[in-house]
Amino acid sequence: MDLKLQKIIPQLITVLVVVLVFGFFTYNAQINMENRGIDFGYGFLSQESSFDVQFSLIEYDGSHSYFRAYLVGLLNTILVSVIGIIIATILGVIVGVARLSPNYLINQFAAFYVEFFRNIPLLLQIFFWYFAALRALPLPQDADAMLGVFFLTIKGLYVPAFIWENLNVFLYSIIAAIIAIVVIRIHARKVQETQGKQLPVFWISVGLIFILPLLSFLIGGVSLSFEIPKLKQLAATSFKYEGGLSLPPELIALTLSLALYTATFIAECVRAGIQGVGKGQKEAAASIGLNPNQVLKLVVMPQALRIIIPPTTNQYLNLTKNSSLAAAIAYPDLVLVFAGTALMQTGKAIEIVSITMLTYLSLSISISILMNWYNKKIAIKEK
Partner 1 sequence: MFKYLKQLTSLVAMVAVLFTFTTETMAAKKSKTLKNTQKKGFVRCGVSQGLPGFSNADAAGNWTGIDVDVCRAVAAAVLGDANKVKFTPLSAKERFTALTSGEIDILSRNTTWTLSRDADIGLTFVGVNFYDGQGFMVRKSSGITSTSQFKDGISACTNIGTTTELNMRDFFNSKGISYEPVAFEKADEVVAAYDAGRCDTYTTDKSGLAAQRTKMSNPDEHIVLPETVSKEPLGPVVRQGDSVWEDIVRWSLNAMIEAEEYGITSANADSMKTSDNPAVKRLVGAEGELGAAFGLDNEWSLRIIKQVGNYGESYKRNIADTGILPDRGPNELWTKGGILYVPPAR
Beta-carbon contacts of 162 under 8 Å, excluding residues fewer than 6 positions away, are: 224, 225, 226, 227
Ramachandran angles phi, psi of 167, nearest 5°: -60, -35
Could you say which of 275, 294, 314, 345 contacts partner 1 (CB under 8 A)? 345
Could you say which of 167, 176, 208, 328 contacts partner 1 (CB under 8 A)? 328
Smallest gap from Cβ 53 to partner 1, in A, equals 7
Decide whether 207 or 347 has the Cβ nearer to partner 1: 347
Smallest gap from Cβ 256 to partner 1, in A, equals 16
* Residues between 59 and 88 that touch partner 1 (CB under 8 A): 62
| DSSP track, 224-235 | EEEE--EEEEEE
Could you say which of 336, 355, 363, 367 contacts partner 1 (CB under 8 A)? 336
Could you say which of 54, 168, 223, 366 contacts partner 1 (CB under 8 A)? 54
Could you say which of 249, 299, 300, 367 contacts partner 1 (CB under 8 A)? 249
**Helix (H), strand (E) at residue 200:** none
Calpha distance 228→162 (Å, rounded): 9
| Only segment of 88-96, 106-114, 271-279, 338-346 that touches partner 1 (CB under 8 A) | 338-346
Smallest gap from Cβ 59 to partner 1, in A, equals 14
Could you say which of 242, 284, 292, 358 contacts partner 1 (CB under 8 A)? 242
Assess 50 for contact with partner 1 (CB under 8 A): yes
Ramachandran angles phi, psi of 291, nearest 5°: -80, 165
Amino acid at 166: N
* Residues between 26 and 45 that touch partner 1 (CB under 8 A): 33, 35-39
* Interface mask toward partner 1 for 115-134; x: CB under 8 A: ----------------x--x
User: In 3D, which of 86, 88, 81 has the Cα closest to residue 265?
Assistant: 88
Secondary structure of 262-291 in HEC code, one letter for each residue: HHHHHHHHHHHHHHCCCHHHHHHHHHCCCC
Q: Are 322 and 122 in contact (CB under 8 A)?
A: yes
Could you say which of 6, 11, 195, 237 contacts partner 1 (CB under 8 A)? 237
Calpha distance 225→217 (Å, rounded): 12
C-alpha dihedral sign at 55, 59, 62, 66:
negative
Number of residues binding to partner 1, judged by CB under 8 A: 42
Could you say which of 13, 120, 284, 344 contacts partner 1 (CB under 8 A)? 344
Smallest gap from Cβ 187 to partner 1, in A, equals 53
Decide whether 2 or 144 has the Cβ nearer to partner 1: 144
* Interface mask toward partner 1 for 144-173; x: CB under 8 A: ----------xx------------------
Q: From the CB of residue 91, how many other CB atoms can be counted at a distance below 10 Å?
A: 18
Assess 232 for contact with partner 1 (CB under 8 A): yes
Q: Give, to the nearest 10 degrees, the angle between helix 66-99 and helix 104-118.
A: 150
Rounded to a whole number of angstroms, the distance between the first and last alpha carbons of the chain is 40
Smallest gap from Cβ 4 to partner 1, in A, equals 45
Q: From the CB of residue 332, how many other CB atoms can be counted at a distance below 10 Å?
A: 26
The CA R_g of the chain, rounded to the nearest whole Å, is 27
Assess 187 for contact with partner 1 (CB under 8 A): no
List residues near partner 1 by CB under 8 A.
33, 35-39, 50-54, 62, 131, 134-135, 139, 154-155, 232, 234-238, 240, 242, 249-250, 327-330, 332, 336, 340-341, 343-347, 349
